[in-house]
Amino acid sequence: MFKQLVPLNKARHATKKIKQIEGFGFASEFHIASLMVHEFSRAAAIYPVVFLEDKEKDRFRPVVLLGLEEGVNLFTDADGKWQSSYVPAIIRRYPFALASTGQEGQFTVCIDEGSDLVSDTEGVPLFGDNGEPAEAIENIKTYLGELQQMDAFTDEFCKFFAQHNLFTPLNMRVRQADQAKNISGCYVINEERLNNLSNELFLEIRAKNYLPAVYAHLISLSQIERLMTLGEERQSAKNS
């Protein structure tokens, strides 16, 4: 997603402006997007919500499937417009992100200097004439801070289910355009193991407020059929 991500500072970006997002062409090749637990309920009505394993960091993270083929986002059209009612937060925050400063719990706001949304002439100023952060930066800091808290909650959610061996590989064979396609490399919460948990552990999941996300995730898996349909429709449009 990011081309040239650097820390935001007034010396380097004093004259920069940020244009309003009017299209999502930058995400047209994203077939997955990271998601946070707080987004599961809204995302589940549109996308399959699954988990990926990051073996280097020994952790799992949730994502939405935006397409069944690498490099193909079925929810952006030729004009870069998003073709659904909910856009994942990680895409909406572009071209900004938080990066760790190296000190525990400390983060800095970064900006993608390679983004078309960053301009010297158009948009909302990032800094005022006095060199102080403008309202746009304050809003960005607030938004990114909220996302960081959600991300921490999501990380704890994934750690809990991994520790209790509740993730299982998703192996699904579907048919698309008269061809068989294997969906693999993803993980889902094992519903059978979930139903066989002890009462004590199940009550702990409820107390942690994880249950709504769990059920949203499981329900979302039926959206894989939606991706198949969208893929077939796009292929038909190309061939016509």
- The DSSP element (H or E) to which 51 belongs, if any, is strand 49-54
- Give the full edge-to-edge strand order of the sheet including 107-112: 5-7, 107-112, 96-100
pTM: 0.89
SS3 assignment, position 219: helix
pLDDT reading at 11 higher than 70: yes
The candidate with the shortest Cα–Cα distance to 170, out of 217, 211, 105, is 217
SS3 assignment, position 182: strand
Mean pLDDT of 175-202: 85
Q: Between the CA of residue 150 and those of 5, 39, 59, 80, 143, what are the distances in Å? A: 22, 9, 16, 27, 11
pLDDT tens sequence across 94-148? 999 988 877 777 889 999 998 989 999 999 999 988 888 899 889 999 999 999 9
Strand partners, 183: 172
The candidate with the shortest Cα–Cα distance to 158, out of 80, 236, 213, 115, is 213
Instruction: Please compute, for residue 55, the number of CA atoms within 13 A of its CA located in the half-sphere on the CB side.
Output: 2
Rounded (5°) CA angle 96-101-106:
90
pLDDT value, residue 235: 80
Spell out where 92-176 has E strands.
96-100, 107-112, 118-119, 124-125, 167-176
* Length of the chain, in residues: 240
- Give the full edge-to-edge strand order of the sheet including 59-65: 32-34, 59-65, 49-54, 179-189, 167-176
Of the two residues 17 and 171, the one the predictor is more confident about is: 17
Distance between CA atoms of 38 and 158, rounded to whole angstroms? Answer: 13
Which residues contact residue 49 at a Cβ distance below 8 angstroms, ignoring those fewer than 6 apart?
35, 40, 43, 62, 63, 64, 216, 217, 220, 221
Sign of the CA dihedral with 101 first, then 107, 108, and 111 last:
positive
Distance between CA atoms of 160 and 196, rounded to whole angstroms? Answer: 16
pLDDT value, residue 177: 59
Would strands 167-176 and 179-189 be described as parallel, antiparallel, or unpaired?
antiparallel
pLDDT tens sequence across 28-67? 999 999 999 999 999 999 999 999 999 888 899 999 999 9
pLDDT reading at 206 higher than 80: yes
pLDDT value, residue 174: 66
**Which of 107-116, 145-154, 230-239 comes out lowest in average pLDDT?**
230-239
